[in-house]
Amino acid sequence: MRIVLAGGSGTLGRRLAADLTARGHEVVVLTRAPGPRTPYRQLRWDGRTVGPWGSELPGAALVNLAGVLVDRRPTRANVELLTRSRVEPTLALAAAPPPDVWVQMSTVAIYGDGGEQVLTESSPPAAGPPQMAGVARAWEAAAASASAGRQVVLRTGIVLDRGTPALDRLTGLVRLGLGGRIGSGRQWVSWLHAEDFLAIVRRALEDSALAGVVHATSPEPVRNAELMATLRRVLRRPPAPPTPAVLVRLGAPVLRTDPALALLGRRAVPARLLGIGHQFLHPSLPKALDDLFVSRSASPGPRGAWRS
């Protein structure tokens, strides 16, 4: 299969390109700045207009991961940046010749603050906050204008892998002795081991019966307090005091982050994948983090070295 990857220079994009190439697929990366050390065929694009790269799409599969990192202050300018960096590339892809399959990245943040509600693919998007649900709704609306043979929209939780910004942020806090619960600690975290993310993308590419919105999350979401306690255990750190919500909000400008990322939660489950019998490699958080921090440290072979 020829797979065109937009957003392939990011952390998840690099993981995905390596995984697909290792399985015999031809990967073509769309990038604004081709690099000499990238082991995949690269095509330059500006992320706004259709160029010669469009000729690669007919008969191919497209995976669209394009968009800047969400971990930034929720200012009006940043919300516009988050939206523009997702919508403009998606509209450019939609204006090009249609691929056979389109796998579109999205986020469970489209549900805003879900509270205690169990969220499935049939749950309605929230009205806000704008830097979460607002950005995600615009992103999905741009993808809806495409005319691909089949489209899968992956509403994804926090992908856990060593070297990814989200997990690096959390482990950094734990190693600094700030690994206690954040806020109430009761907010739900929808997460996914990176290997399960890769497996879900492969299924979306290959399963002709799969279309529409699909949750790319573990079947076992956890509360923030459990996440932080499990991280402390695998990193061998002692109990830590909680970080009150007011301190999270006061410290956010210093860390240049959005306090809502830590204080709001969503209890999303992958109902559609479970309904078709999809098997998760790392469904539980303790075993997932053990795999990332314990098993790979003890076994530095090719599998462990892949994400070192």
The helix (run of H) or strand (run of E) holding residue 252 is helix 245-255
Confidence band (pLDDT; 50, 70, 90) for 8?
confident
Longest CA pairwise span in the chain (Å): 56
pLDDT over 70 percentage in the chain: 96
Q: Let me know: does 154 contact 102? Beta carbons within 8 Å.
A: no
pLDDT (tens digit per residue) in 111-157 = 999 999 999 999 999 999 999 999 999 999 999 999 999 999 999 99
Nearest to 139 by CA among 91, 100, 102: 91
| pLDDT confidence of residue 300 | 44
pLDDT (tens digit per residue) in 80-111 = 999 999 999 999 999 999 999 999 999 999 99
Domain ranges, ordered by start, for the chain: 2-305
Q: 198: helix, coil or strand?
A: helix
Distance CA 101, CA 16 (A): 16
The structure tokens 């926090």 sit at: 158
Quote the CATH superfamily of domain 2-305. NAD(P)-binding Rossmann-like Domain (3.40.50.720)
Q: Let me know: does 8 contact 47? Beta carbons within 8 Å.
A: no
Tokens of residue 52, six digits: 């010669």
